[in-house]
Structure 1
Amino acid sequence: MPQPVPRPTRRTVVLAGAGAAAAVVGPAVAARAAEGAPGDLQPYASYWYPDSFPSGTPGPGITWRSLKDWRAEDDADLAFNAATVPLARRFTPVAVNRSARARQARIQALVSFEHTAGNPSQGAATADYYALTHWAYLDELVFWGGSAGEGLILAPNAPVVDAAHRNGVPVLGTVFLPPTAWGGELRWTRDLVRRDALGRFPLAVKLVEVAVAHGFDGWFVNAETDGGDAALGADMLAFVRDLKARSEAAGLRVTWYDAMTVGGSVGWQGALNERNRDFFRSADSMFVDFRWSGDRLAASGELAERLGRDRYELWAGVDVEAHGWDSSVDWDAIVPRDGAHIVSYGLYRPEWTRNQLPAGRTPGQFHAADDRFWTGRSLDPSQPDTDGWRAPATVVADRSTVDRLPFATSFNTGHGLRWYEGGEVTSAAEWNHLGLQDRLPGRRWVVRSGGRRPAVAFDFADAWRGGSSLLVDGDFDAPATVELHATRLPLSRSTVVELTHRADAGTVTVELAVALREPAEPGEPVPYTYIPAGTLRAGGSGWTTATLRLNALSGTVRSLGVRLTAEGRATWRLGALAVRDTAAARRPGAPARLRVTASATGDAGTSLRFAWRRAPGAVRHYELHRVLPGGSRRFLGGTCGNAFFVPALKPEGGERAARFEIRAVDELYTASAPASTVHHW
């Protein structure tokens, strides 16, 4: 067995650079089931060593793999790990406050969603998950991980990539060569940059093949194993140049981490300088280690420009893993309030918002913390805080991808306590799967009122579809306008907006807020026009869908929201919002050839792998149901791909066989006719 690596103190983690913490992201994963048990079919996110393995044998639940030997056609889990949602284009509306800037600093996030090994490919049966939703402020997501005992090269799993792409955010996998204090071995660096007989870099080819096959956007290269010499430094630089050239041809990108220098040794510079500038010039961007200072960042930005590069292609590392919004950061060295931004910044481990909560945390508690992290203490980006935490909403202008019809959202955050369809529970099990996440309001939460401000939040106690809905609750003494989506939606005479909503307390008069132009200046209110959408009373008919015609308006919808009027205490729930042209509505085509591709039975039940032929036309995702004795359907899960894994199924009601159905779901959540199959017990 490999010798255990001693766990350093927090101080040594920071001093060793960001990559060091990736080596230990929590306790060892649970052992996988014995041969022939259902757990053997569970697909996991892909990870590899460049070539050679550590001494000894892998720990429980860990499989050692060589990237050199990987081939897409031999990867039995690739269908479960391949993202399918294309990277959406984004636009930048007029900023909601005067401090947020466009075309200056950008934000990168390094997130560890799970362990390197044992990270399920398609979500899991728990709502306790880092369900990132504040995509509007991100420009790059790094799927952070890798460790000496599990694997060093980590490919993002499909749900994360699909959710990010839906919001226009590229996702990078991680190449992590750990410090020797974390079990790193210099031979792994040499494995990565080894040339073939013709002088080529085979693993640069493999990295591009992996990214293309898995559907993500490139690599974050972090070489932190010390002991190298000038020859190794030259090989690494040549490798990065080759990887960049191949990545550029494939539409991918490369980010370099400030660790290894051109001399081959590891020396975290905390700056762009002569020891790492050739790596920066050979990549698309560089993460600047935490050792930066105001003077170093200023000099780095100037050097980037002298090299003919954009200073905002430098990400100054901001470590929030331990203290979140209480982290001590010299913000003026990166994003001063009274001048142009110096460089961009990279948030290291923002999943602190989940991890800092106590055991038994709920999705609602997580989102309350996450909203505070990204928006600020005010929880309203139109009223930015001026305290010590400089929340992203106060620094960078938000972006949106809502630029074409049809558009719909059910305010599904990608995890939940149950699954709902049409307001009814079709699965009582907890779940998470970010690929099923909707496009959510980017500005959380802009509320304009002449009176008391109601609370706005995602709520998991009830939903119209998915796992959550939007809840507005307060003691009203004046109308309140809640801004929802920045848009670029073209209007026609057949365009309608549908609101599916209900009152849970009090009586609420609802109006749709539509803006056909943006504010003249950042920080000014959106100029809305209001369209009546009905008056709802608690205890009434439950969920109601109001269909509102916009044929009195023309042009392009720039923003959507709602105005609520009530007297005293009131609670209003929005389950879905859709904008569509009635002339274009049609049911999506159905998938075909649903089949069980593998099964395994153990004490917990039978696990199945499913596959099907993709439906024709545009598909948002697929939903798999089990048809129960008596004809009702139970939701088993959904995915954007065309393969799915279901664990631990058992016969019900004395059935001899179980029937399953797969449906394609379009952007308006209209489901196709099903394809079905039967599994005999």
Structure 2
Amino acid sequence: MNPTRRTVLLAAGAAGAAALVPAQPAGAAPRQAAAAPPPYAAYWYPDSLPAGTPGTGITWRSLKSWTAEDDTDLAFNAASVPLAPRFTPTPANATARADQARIQSLVSFGPTSANPSQGSATADHYAFTHWAYVDELVFWGGSSGEGLILAPNAPVVDAAHRHGVPVLGNIFLPPVAYGGQLRWTRDLVQQDTSGHYPLAAQLVRVAAAYGFDGWFVNAETGGGNSALGTAMLGFLTELKALAAARGQRVTWYDAMTVNGAVSWQGALNAQNQAFFQSADDMFVDFRWSVASLASSGQRAEQLGRSRYALWAGVDVEANGSNRSVNWDAIVPRDKPHVVSLGLYRPEWTRNHLPAGGRGPAAFHAADDRFWTGRSGDPSRPDGTDPWRAPAVSVADRSTVTALPFASVFNTGHGLRWYEDGTVTSDTPWNHLGLQDRLPSRQWAVHTTGTRPAVAFDFTDAWHGGSSVLVSGTLDAPAVLDLYATRLPLSDTTVVELTHRTDTGTVTVELAVATADPDTPGTTPPYTYLPLEAGAGGGWRTSVVALGGLSGTVHAVGVRLTATGGPVAWRLGGIAVRDEPRTPAAPTGLRITAAAGGDLRLAWDTRPDDVRHHTLHRVLPDGTRRFLGATCQSAYFVGGLAPQDGERTARFELRAVGELYTASAPAVVTHTW
């Protein structure tokens, strides 16, 4: 990509602790020599390593020499959630289209090196929630001083897969201005004696072992010749064939041309057509014009390919939703979309906030503005908004298709950790792998009166770190769309809502639709089912039987009617189920490495009915303190110390099912 348009991380950032506990306090006994290091996301050079010595916190590795058997962090980094199928309901508004432009998102979730495998002890994180509009996520990063090939860490892949979004690792061969060396390009495309490309096979093995979906190939190191261009084309062709055999994808970036030179075209043309034909998609560089995108779409169709296999790059790293874009060149309102949309660095929504103002609420407000638009409601977009948010042009998708289904509206970060409405850790945290399947329409409200404010709220929660807060005057009944679904109904199907009224008085009804609306942007044909009246201001769980309905649930929401004063009402959880299920306790819990207060734990692979595992420490007074959770079968905790003179620390691991029911604990102890 154009060097003037990017920020490249040339040095490692500071590592965050992977557990949700504070660092070791001042004055604590010194730790033993490190034998239980924290795990980090993996990164490599193709083969040969740079000259000299890596910087602090950086490990130089060769992809060619990687094996799964020798990868000591693989259990922490391998994703566990399969890619979910998804469907497209009737669009939320009249301008969103279901079968045209798609969206690719290129995101740097952290530095190349020292990027924690399983979250860290801060809420300041790009906890993306608008997956419903994204078709492909690229785990962006790489630098000449750290490594060039990045495998996505498990939390990102697990969250994306829950929402049906494939995730690609990144191969970044940097421009010479950023330390790129042509030998690394030659390393990548080297051939063996049989004419095959060994690193193509290695890349496919890595993606399979780590559980992600393929590779984004970005060759930007200049100085090549036609022989190198031919070798790159052969490499890409073999990578695509091997990837397709494993259900993986390959996207090519418009930089290197067929003659081996780097010359960004801003179009699909004769200079890069062969690469496009050897890949699933191509990211078209930012130099595009109205004419070049039009001709690119036509050329793709002449080749027998979809024009929407081209992602027109829009660089939002610097200005985000304040950027001026010629949207009609990509996604015009009044005629078919021209090509698809590639968003480069939309984590601007977090990064542009001041260092002291990156709390979860501020981040989600900016992210909603970016993805939903100025109206804050995808069912009623603001036609005068100069930023054409994705929700205006692209129909949302959903993966809620099977029972049991539950959500506690956990966004994957928070200021505290809650269990059953009680704080069990007051340490800020992030871990995207714990994110729920979230509402695809954030936030569609149907009312004839004043629209209430709706947002994820982090000041209180039923479980995890967040709840949904609805607040306002509610001068008319308001219907909040929660989930588009395809859930089968039976005589025993029930819906459970865990909710609380903080201010005012409000009547709450469950909204259930067994069909989609006929017209985009209209309210689903809901049936409204009353919740039993409750007393007091605490959390309560209301159970509503759906035995009177038949067929398939297409949408679930709530209708709120104020009966006194302004309202603040929060939703902490929803579950749709037939019979309740509780998973079995984990087996094989063990400590695999220990150094002072740093521990690596492992247990047997999780069964299919387990959503994630939670780890608690039992203190000498019997109090259970939440340490962390993961979807993997290994976990790292750091910075622990004896409490109140204890000689042995006790840890409890529980399996948590899709309905958030927890198993009996497995127990392991550690002697100080």
**TM-score normalized with structure 2 length:** 0.96
Q: Equivalent pairs: percent with the same residue?
A: 67
Higher RCO (Cα < 8 Å, 6 or more apart):
2
Number of positions where the alignment pairs a residue of Structure 1 with one of Structure 2? 658
Which structure 2 residues correspond to residues 67-216 of structure 1 after superposition, within 5 A? 67-216=63-212
Decide whether the 8 Å contact of 1:31 with 1:61 is kept in 2.
Answer: no
Matched, 1:269 2:254: no
- Displacement of 1:616 in angstroms is 3.7
Tell me the alpha carbon deviations over residues 421-475 of structure 1, each in whole angstroms, 9 at most, x when there is no partner: 1101111111100000001111011111121111001011111000000101111
Deviations 1:559-615 (A, max 9, x none): 111011113211101110000003xx23212211111101112xxxx1100000134
Whether 1:338 and 2:334 are equivalent positions in the alignment is yes
Preserved contact between residue 418 and residue 465 of structure 2 (Cα < 8 Å): yes
Which of residues 643, 648, 656 in structure 2 aligns to 1:652?
643
| Cα distance in 2 between the residues matched to 1:522 and 1:503 | 32
State the Cα distance separating 1:61 from its structure 2 match.
0.9
1:273 Cα deviation from its structure 2 partner: 0.3
How many angstroms apart in 2 are the aligned matches of 1:627 and 1:275?
A: 63
Q: Unpaired segments of 5 or more residues in structure 1?
A: 1-13
Alignment partner of 1:581 is 2:578: yes
Cα distance change of structure 1 residues 106 and 200 upon mapping to structure 2, 3 Å threshold: same
Q: Report the equivalent of 1:357.
A: 353
Match of 2:2 among 1, 4, 15: 15
Distance 1:522 1:185, change over 3 A: same
- Structure 2, unmatched stretches of 5+, are 18-22, 24-29
Could you tell me which residue of structure 1 aligns to residue 242 of structure 2?
A: 246
Aligned with residue 517 of structure 1, among 515, 518, 523: 515
2:441 to 426, 440, 443: 443
Spell out the pairing of 1:373-384 with structure 2 (5 A cutoff). 373-384=370-381
1:664 correspondence with 2:660: no
- Asked if structure 2 preserves the Cα contact closer than 8 Å seen for 1:477 and 1:568, the reply is no
2:630 to 627, 634, 639: 639
Quick check: 1:676 aligned with 2:662? no
Which residue, out of 487, 498, 512, partners 1:489? 487
Counterparts of 1:91 and 1:40 in 2: how far apart (Å)?
43
2:571 maps to amino acid: L
Question: Quick check: 1:590 aligned with 2:585?
Answer: yes
Structure 1: which 4+ aligned runs deviate by more than 2 Å? Answer: 14-18, 23-40, 534-537, 614-617
Distance 1:581 1:28, change over 3 A: closer
Structure 1 vs Structure 2 CA RMSD: 1.7
Distance 1:642 1:667 in 2: 17
Using structure 1 for the length normalisation, give the TM-score.
0.95
Q: Deviations over 1:264-320 (max 9, x none)?
A: 000000000000000000000000000000100000000000111011000000110
1:499 is matched by which residue type in structure 2?
L
- Partners of 1:147 and 1:47 in 2: how far apart? 10
1:536 CA displacement = 5.0
Q: 2:9 aligns with which of 11, 16, 24?
A: 24
Q: State the Cα deviation string for residues 114-148 of structure 1 (Å, max 9, x = none).
A: 00001000000000000011000000000000000
* Aligned residues of 1:454 and 1:474 also touching (Cα < 8 A): yes
Deviation string for 1:68-124 (max 9, x for gaps)? Answer: 111100010010000010000000000010100011000000000000001000000
Q: Secondary structure at the match of 1:592?
A: coil
User: Any idea what SS the aligned residue of 1:174 has?
Assistant: strand
Partner of 1:415: 413
Q: Which amino acid in the other structure matches residue 69 of structure 1? A: S
Kept in 2: contact 1:412–1:467 (CA 8 A): yes
Output the CA distance in 1 between the equivalents of 2:10 and 2:477: 47
Compute the displacement of 1:619 (Å): 1.2
Correspondence for 1:600 among 584, 595, 600: 595
Which residue of 33, 40, 49 corresponds with 1:44?
Answer: 40
Whether contact under 8 Å (1:29, 1:60) holds in the other structure is no
Alpha-carbon offset, residue 617 of structure 1: 4.1
What does residue 20 of structure 2 align with?
Answer: none
Note if contact 2:581-2:659 (Cα within 8 Å) is conserved in structure 1. no
**Which secondary structure state, in structure 2, belongs to the residue aligned with residue 593 of structure 1?**
coil
Q: Which residue of 2 aligns with 1:7?
A: none
Question: What amino acid maps onto 2:478 in structure 1?
Answer: A
Question: Are the aligned partners of 1:38 and 1:647 in contact in 2 as well (CA < 8 Å)?
Answer: no
Paired with 2:16 and 2:568, the residues of 1 have a C-alpha distance of 46
Alpha-carbon distance in 2 for matches of 1:348, 1:416: 26
- Alignment check: 8 A CA contact 2:12 2:56 kept: no
